[in-house]
Chain A
Amino acid sequence: MIRFILSKLLYLVPTFIGITIIAFGFVRILPGDPVLLMAGERGISPERHAELSAQLGFDRPIWVQYFDFLGRLFQGDLGNSLVTKKPVMDEFLTLFPATVELGLVAILLATIIGVPVGVLAAIKRGSWFDQVSMTAALVGFSMPIFWWGLLLIIFFSGILGWTPVSGRISLMYFFPDVTGFMLIDSLLSGQKGAFTSALSHLILPSIVLATIPLAVIARQTRSAMLEVMGEDYVRTARAKGMPQSRVVGVHALRNAMIPVITTIGLQIGVLMAGAILTESIFSWPGIGKWMIDSISRRDYPVVQSGLLLIAGLVMLVNLLVDLTYGLINPRIRHK
């Protein structure tokens, strides 16, 4: 097992180096000059421009900057944002919990709805439930979520006034940031109504973010179930007169869950892409919005490190999924 993990890890090293090159290289060939952006309409004299570029270290050869970037990376230093002048790592750590919270709630929502729907659809294959739910899943899968979010805001916040428009919690509540997860912090604060408020702020964004994963999970669960139910041992169990619920519960579900878990794990990339759109629609203070803003402001250090951290994270989660898979299914390990 340890060898399996080690080999997986080793396999990741070249990928990670590739990621650093892309994160650094792409960002540095971005057209546009942060120094000019800082000056705005006013313009900046060539001398002052050179002075500022030198101060920010942009005047050195690109490869020197790259190795400098790598060197500092290994010391855990991701540089300072050009806009706020603050360490990128600090900003990431402040914003990251918001994205994780939203992502976790969304994936939870997608799973607890998607899996039962998929199972039920598979059992009742061809029924109206199957047809309706799978059509709905396909609609969800085809949804432009940036538009979907706007519609939900207009309807639920604008017309009905049921949900708050944006933000993470009502401004009435104010408590220290312990974990960075608003749901937990609001409970810790002990303030009445704080948790409900945090929860109500999560509803619309998490629905929007969960839409596509939910559709994928429901479809995947259904087809995995159908496949497993067609296998010999399930057919045998059924032929032996085992009750349907037991067949589904014990044999089919357990075996169908392996590909489903993989699917859920692989949704992290989808979630990150979704978070970019969802966060910018709902003014959610997370890293998706942070990245978009930083790209448009040419905040090199933030875009570089953000790309790196996000890709690293996706890689890590994929590794975990791989390892879990290897644990559940020893055959893979020894391949």
Chain B
Amino acid sequence: MTQPVATPPVARLSDAAIRRQMLTEFWFYFRQNRGAVVGMWVFLVLVLLAVFAQVIAPHDPTQQYRDALLVPPFWQEGGRASFLLGTDAVGRDMLSRLIYGAQYSLFIGIVVVAIALIGGIFVGLLAGFFGGWVDTVIMRVMDVILAFPSLLLALVLVAVLGPGLTNAMIAIAIVYQPHFARLTRAAVMGEKEREYVTAARVAGAGKLRLMFKTILPNCLAPLIVQATLSFSSAVLDSAALGFLGMGAQPPASEWGTMLAEAREFILRAWWVVTLPGLAILISVLAINLMGDGLRDALDPKLKRS
């Protein structure tokens, strides 16, 4: 089913040319998906907000305005123009906190995916390439991790490591990592016996070189799709952990933590509850839209036989 994407080594195009061609092709397919393009724009806005938070945010996210506790958004009665989206229970500007929250979410997504991806690829390559008992042991361990509902396992892990953002990220990454390991292993198993690998082996390529230089680039597509999926799940799960009080700790303006802190005001101040949730939904949705587009764009290549 899966065919090598790269051209066999016989007909050598320059690497750069191949890459350029791949990108053009990818962009062509990606653009077909309107949702994906919208998602990408939203995501870009999020990235900009996160990067330039200090410039954009009207207030310091931790600055407490003692005379402005729970001020509603500007369009409501009692709202103030200086606090466009209102303030929270200790008088911090909601808009600024939400903007800074984007930093947390992107950071969490990137870190979790990076850890899970690197760990998963490494373990998966080992299992797939060496096979035998190495494979058996590794894959059994992955099975064990997958047998637990991810959030529950992450919860227990965070409880073990202690509540906090770093530990929440580590816990989530550990829980996600088997997916990458499985994908990598399957791809490696599939690719291992193909001609170009055999060719490389005959040509005297070392094991490491085989694993990382020859095989890995050819199973990247499913990993990229899985990575986007994990990115959005990581944002969701870390927010859920924050909501349960086990993620980022106050006064961090992480959206899930903001929600948890605001829960007591659910009936009195809708904005402190609604807005962080909306922010989570929008960013996760944007990433998922992009992920769909990525899959569509990478899929035809995977399928061309």
- Report A-B touching, CB under 8 Å: yes
State how many residues of chain B have any CB contact under 8 Å with chain A.
Answer: 43
CA distance A295 to B145 in the complex (A): 19
Interface residues of A in 203-242 (CB under 8 A from B): none
CA distance A295 to B244 in the complex (A): 11
Interface residues of B in 268-293 (CB under 8 A from A): 270, 273-274, 276-277, 280-281, 284-285, 287-289, 292
B160 at the interface (CB under 8 A from A): yes
CB-defined contacts of A30 to chain B, threshold 8 Å: 156, 159-160
Given the known inter-chain contacts A31-B162, A142-B232, A311-B148, please indicate yes or no for A26 contacting B285, CB distance below 8 A: no
Minimum CB–CB distance for B8 against chain A, Å: 28
User: 15 A-B pairs, CB-CB below 8 angstroms?
Assistant: A15-B140, A18-B140, A19-B148, A135-B35, A142-B285, A144-B259, A146-B239, A147-B273, A269-B148, A270-B149, A272-B152, A276-B155, A277-B240, A295-B159, A314-B147
A252 at the interface (CB under 8 A from B): no
What 0/1 readout, one digit per residue, does chain A (1-33) give for beta carbons within 8 Å of chain B?
Answer: 000000000000011001100100011011100
Interface residues of B in 126-163 (CB under 8 A from A): 140-141, 143-152, 155-157, 159-160, 162
CB-defined contacts of A269 to chain B, threshold 8 Å: 146, 148-150
CA distance A142 to B273 in the complex (A): 18
| Interface residue from A138, A295, A314 paired with B285 (Cβ < 8 Å) | A138
* Contact count A vs B, C-beta below 8 Å: 116
Minimum CB–CB distance for B305 against chain A, Å: 14
CA distance A147 to B280 in the complex (A): 9
CB-defined contacts of A273 to chain B, threshold 8 Å: 149-152
CA distance A135 to B141 in the complex (A): 36
Minimum CB–CB distance for B155 against chain A, Å: 6
CB-defined contacts of B289 to chain A, threshold 8 Å: 138
| Interface residue from B145, B277, B292 paired with A151 (Cβ < 8 Å) | B277
B156, B236, B239, B276 — which one has the most chain A CB atoms within 10 A of its CB? Answer: B156
A52 at the interface (CB under 8 A from B): no
A19, A272, A295, A314 — which one has the most chain B CB atoms within 10 A of its CB? Answer: A295
Question: Which B residues lie at the A interface, using CB under 8 A?
Answer: 35, 140-141, 143-152, 155-157, 159-160, 162, 232, 236, 239-240, 243-244, 256, 259, 263, 266-267, 270, 273-274, 276-277, 280-281, 284-285, 287-289, 292
Looking at chain B's contact residues, the main secondary structure is helix
What 0/1 readout, one digit per residue, does chain A (174-188) give for beta carbons within 8 Å of chain B?
Answer: 000000000000000
A292 at the interface (CB under 8 A from B): yes
State how many residues of chain A have any CB contact under 8 Å with chain B.
Answer: 41
Minimum CB–CB distance for A76 against chain B, Å: 20
| Interface residue from A29, A138, A292 paired with B288 (Cβ < 8 Å) | A138
CA distance A276 to B241 in the complex (A): 11
A142 close to B160 (CB less than 8 A): no
Per CB-CB distance, the 6 closest pairs between chain A and chain B, nearest first, are A147-B277, A18-B144, A273-B151, A272-B149, A142-B284, A142-B285
A116 at the interface (CB under 8 A from B): no
Closest to B237 in A: A273
A158 close to B267 (CB less than 8 A): yes
A14, A19, A144, A151 — which one has the most chain B CB atoms within 10 A of its CB? Answer: A144
Minimum CB–CB distance for A105 against chain B, Å: 18
Given the known inter-chain contacts A14-B140, A139-B285, please indicate yes or no for A276 contacting B151, CB distance below 8 A: yes
What 0/1 readout, one digit per residue, does chain A (128-152) give for beta carbons within 8 Å of chain B?
Answer: 0000000100110111101110110
CA distance A280 to B151 in the complex (A): 14
CA distance A307 to B140 in the complex (A): 18
B263 close to A310 (CB less than 8 A): no
CA distance A143 to B140 in the complex (A): 32
B156 close to A295 (CB less than 8 A): yes
A256 at the interface (CB under 8 A from B): no
Minimum CB–CB distance for A283 against chain B, Å: 14
CB-defined contacts of B144 to chain A, threshold 8 Å: 15, 18-19, 22
CA distance A158 to B143 in the complex (A): 43
Minimum CB–CB distance for A212 against chain B, Å: 9
CA distance A276 to B157 in the complex (A): 15
CA distance A78 to B285 in the complex (A): 42
Extra pairs beyond A142-B236, A310-B149, A310-B152 (12, CB < 8 Å): A15-B140, A15-B144, A22-B145, A146-B259, A151-B277, A269-B149, A269-B150, A273-B152, A276-B149, A276-B152, A295-B155, A311-B147
Minimum CB–CB distance for A248 against chain B, Å: 23
A303 at the interface (CB under 8 A from B): yes
Given the known inter-chain contacts A139-B285, A141-B288, A295-B159, please indicate yes or no for A307 contacting B148, CB distance below 8 A: yes
Given the known inter-chain contacts A18-B143, A139-B285, A144-B256, please indicate yes or no for A314 contacting B148, CB distance below 8 A: yes
CB-defined contacts of A139 to chain B, threshold 8 Å: 281, 285
A250 at the interface (CB under 8 A from B): no
CB-defined contacts of B150 to chain A, threshold 8 Å: 269, 273
Closest to A275 in B: B149
| Interface residue from A15, A29, A147, A318 paired with B259 (Cβ < 8 Å) | A147
Given the known inter-chain contacts A135-B35, A144-B236, A272-B149, please indicate yes or no for A150 contacting B266, CB distance below 8 A: yes
CB-defined contacts of A311 to chain B, threshold 8 Å: 147-148
